[in-house]
Amino acid sequence: MQITLRVYATLCRYVPGAVAGVPLDIDLPDGATVSDLIEKMEVPAREVKVAFVNGRRQSPDWVLNQGDEAGIFPPVGGG
Amino acid sequence: MWILRLNMTDATYRLEELPPAYKNLAGRAMTSTLVSDEVPPLCHPLGPHNKLVFSPGIVTGTAAPTSSRISVGAKSPLTGGLKESNAGSSWGPGLARMRIRALVVEGKPRDKRYLGTCITWDAAQEKPKVEFFDAAEYIGKDLYEVYPKVYEKFGKGISVAGFGMAAEHGYGNAGISFNDLAKRPSRYSGRGGLGSVMASKALKFIVLNTAGAPGVSIADKALFDEGRKKLLEALQTHDITKPKGALNTYGTAVLINILNEAGGLPTRNFSSGRFEGAAKIAGEAIFEGNKQRLGKDVYNHACSPGCTIQCSNTWYNVDGTERTSCVEYESAWALGANCGIDSLDEIATMIQLCNAYGLDTIETGATIGVAMEAGVIPFGDSKGVIRLIEEMGKGSPLGRTLGGGTGFAGKAYGVVRVPAVKGQGMPAYEPRAVKGMGITYATSTMGADHTAGYTIAPEILGVMGKQDPLSTEGKAALSRAFQATTASIDSTGHCLFIAFAILDIASGYQGMIDECNGVLGTKWTADDVYAYGVAVMKKERAFNEAAGIGKEADRIPEFMKIEPLPPHNHVFDIPDSALDSVHGEM
């Protein structure tokens, strides 16, 4: 299946050519989870603080579906 | 330790020994207590009976990390209620080191002759000394022009608090400007129109020269030092606050992308939670843009002495000169996504103008969003925004309509979609997408205020646990807990950003408590610190009620209860009873 992934902040350094907010098309086997996606992108799992799927925060074991839009962040804060 | 009173009716001053009842009050606790005790709740905010109170926090002026905050309080011309708004600057530690726990500006001169004051340490008398000076030459001018003149007149090592033309016009949207470490007029007690209160008393500048000042007295140095180290350790290790962490690298605008992803970035006057241009105005874009323009990685700097987080940025021009400092999340959102604008260069120009005139960028952006809704200019028209801000600087009738703030402009133009509570414009989090924040906006004594109870931490960022932002469950209690805790942190003099570290790292939280006990000689537990914050909130609430702002004002605007917000298509569905329980069960 195909999903789109956006990578943000310091996580961009793990994905060659990634620009914050610019979507990447990623092929995944059916039944893949958020953590499978992170592993495929070779982003260290411990660096990912928050993962969104279709705008909702999901845990690493969340199962992805065709056409999902994912976004991953390291720890961020502000005001 | 003193309360310094500046009487602007006759340009005199008085030093009062700090009363024993106030011995443990500082920062927001002090400003809210003094305003509550001394200001008639029904007074006119720009009249002779309002008082403007400045108070550094408990540990401000000591070696405590990231503690250079100054609280400013008064009855707000914007909300009509009690206001506290704080800034990071060398000014706060300056006041603290002269052992002034509160500076109260009171009275009102009969003629509008602007004066300034310079406060120095009189070594012979062993107390602060105040001199008044004529400030006429600084009136009606751009603050970027005027600040260098003040430094020239009073010396390089001073700190300056003042206001710009927005306050001279008496706007509800007029902040108090403080110097940053590069002497720019860029740090703000922004929200609630306190600049106009200061201007109404014709006090244009308060200059501090701390040469010879004795410093903050510390009751138990060993305990203070232990606490300082624990807190510093937490700040240096947490991923958000550590050197080259999220804030030091990307600044507060790092939030643009995550709020956008979550569908909670208010766009085009709160009509959507996603902005297609978000990535162009985010912290990452600022970092990459600066890198391209300067040819190197630029990490952020401190706004004030002793800050180890260092989240302030500078946005540079293509030619490597400075365009503005700084581009905060709230400013990038208010003048960016909320107005449908995706150009950092244009947003930087707008921020620079707001600073030049002394306008709160949040209120300005929220107000202009309403003006766009009304068709004054189209969404996305950045040249139009610049023109409107210039009108606000000039004090034209259009400028004054906008200078009155979000609620005021909404009424003037007959707009229904007005994102404000108690007249104050909402900041950069959509209540329908982050419901705990909506509760804070509705129930904070400050009006729609994000720092007052920052539930974004668990709801979006994963700090202090994880909460579903779209769920209504447990959110009233969450907002209440954050509001009370924040009232305490606002009294310590620490920047609120220490919360990212200390809400996750318990020893850091204990360190903050140890610091306070060390300075004051108290024996507070975590429960005592929470109770301290609750007491501050109760005073503020009582003032507001006496000022005619009761629980009926603790509500989200009707349109947010009716219109589903894309992309998640929720309305604000927190029941009124839950809103009332925030203070009801405090």
- Specify whether the CB–CB gap between B504 and B493 falls below 8 A: no
Q: List the one residue out of A17, A28, A10, A13 whose CA is nearest residue A70.
A: A28
CA B568 from centre of chain: 30
The position carrying tokens 């720890």 is A75
The position carrying tokens 């710009």 is B164
Instruction: Give the per-residue pLDDT at B465.
Output: 87
What's the average model confidence in pLDDT over B55-82?
A: 98
**How do B322-324 and B100-106 pair as beta strands?**
unpaired
> What digits encode the pLDDT tens for the residues B56-65?
999 999 999 9
**CB within 8 A of B72, min separation 6: which ones?**
B31, B52, B53, B54, B84, B85, B86, B87, B176, B189, B194
Gap between the Cα atoms of B124 and B392, Å rounded: 47
Per the structure block, which two tokens stand in for B52?
């403007």
Helix, strand, or coil (residue B520): helix
Residue ranges per domain, chain A? 2-73
Indicate whether B217 belongs to any domain: no
pLDDT reading at B421 higher than 90: yes
**CB within 8 A of B536, min separation 6: which ones?**
B28, B29, B32, B33, B487, B488, B490, B491
Q: Across chain B, what does the average pLDDT equal?
A: 98
Residue B67 sits in the same domain as residue B173? yes
Indicate whether B232 belongs to any domain: no
**Closest residue of chain A to B261, computed from CA coordinates:** A55
DSSP B248-260: HHH-GGGHHHHHH
Indicate whether B513 belongs to any domain: no
Indicate whether B449 belongs to any domain: yes
Residue B201 sits in the same domain as residue B268? no
- Specify whether the CB–CB gap between A7 and A72 falls below 8 A: yes
pTM to 2 decimal places: 0.98
Residue B518: band (very low, low, confident or very high) from pLDDT cuts 50, 70, 90: very high
Burial class (CB in 10 A: 0-12, 13-18, 19+), B207: buried
* Element housing B118 (H / E): strand B115-122
Asked if B454's CB is within 8 angstroms of A76's CB, the reply is no
Of B254, B260, B274, the CB nearest to A78: B254
Residue B413 sits in the same domain as residue B462? no
Work out the percent of chain B whose per-residue pLDDT is above 90. 99
Asked if B241's CB is within 8 angstroms of A78's CB, the reply is no
Tell me which of B395, B413, B429 is where a domain ends.
Answer: B429
Asked if A22's CB is within 8 angstroms of B279's CB, the reply is yes
Indicate whether B132 belongs to any domain: yes
Q: How far does the CA of residue B263 sit from the closest CA of chain A (Å)? A: 6
Report chain A residues whose CB lies below 8 A from the CB of B326.
Answer: none
> What digits encode the pLDDT tens for the residues B241-293?
999 999 999 999 999 999 999 999 999 999 999 999 999 999 999 999 999 99
Rg of chain B over Cα atoms, rounded to whole angstroms, equals 22
> What digits encode the pLDDT tens for the residues B208-237?
999 999 999 999 999 999 999 999 999 999
**Closest residue of chain A to B260, computed from CA coordinates:** A55
- CATH code for the domain in which residue B352 is found: 1.10.569.10
**Closest residue of chain A to B239, computed from CA coordinates:** A75
Instruction: Give the per-residue pLDDT at B112.
Output: 83
Which of A7, A8, A68 has the highest number of chain B CBs within 10 A, making it the mutation to test binding with B? A8
Report chain B residues whose CB lies below 8 A from the CB of A20.
Answer: 257, 279, 282, 284-285, 288
Query: Number of C-alpha atoms within 13 angstroms, CB side, residue A32?
Result: 22
- b/e per residue, A43-65, with b = 16+ CB within 10 A? beeebbbbbbbbbebbeeebebe
What's the average model confidence in pLDDT over B351-370?
A: 98
What's the average model confidence in pLDDT over B393-412?
A: 98
Domain that holds residue B293: 249-429
Gap between the Cα atoms of B583 and B357, Å rounded: 36
Residue B521: band (very low, low, confident or very high) from pLDDT cuts 50, 70, 90: very high
Tell me which of B369, B395, B429 is where a domain ends.
Answer: B429
Instruction: Give the per-residue pLDDT at B204.
Output: 98
**Closest residue of chain A to B279, computed from CA coordinates:** A21
Asked if B328's CB is within 8 angstroms of A79's CB, the reply is yes
Residue B200 sits in the same domain as residue B53? yes
Residue B92 sits in the same domain as residue B75? yes
Of B246, B311, B468, the CB nearest to A75: B246
Which of B191, B238, B241, B258 has the highest number of chain A CBs within 10 A, making it the mutation to test binding with A? B258
pLDDT reading at A79 higher than 90: no
Report chain A residues whose CB lies below 8 A from the CB of B284.
Answer: 8-9, 12, 20-21
Report chain B residues whose CB lies below 8 A from the CB of A74.
Answer: 239, 246
Residue B368: band (very low, low, confident or very high) from pLDDT cuts 50, 70, 90: very high
Gap between the Cα atoms of B392 and B382, Å rounded: 15
- Specify whether the CB–CB gap between B187 and B179 falls below 8 A: yes
pLDDT reading at B72 higher than 90: yes
Number of independent structural domains in chain B: 3
pLDDT reading at B339 higher than 90: yes
Report chain B residues whose CB lies below 8 A from the CB of A8.
Answer: 257-258, 261, 284
**CB within 8 A of A61, min separation 6: which ones?**
A33, A34, A35
Asked if A73's CB is within 8 angstroms of B239's CB, the reply is no
Q: What separation in angstroms does the CA of B89 have from each of B62, B70, B189, B375?
A: 14, 7, 10, 38
pLDDT reading at B114 higher than 90: yes
What topology is assigned to A2-73 in CATH? Ubiquitin-like (UB roll) (3.10.20)
What's the average model confidence in pLDDT over B559-568?
A: 98
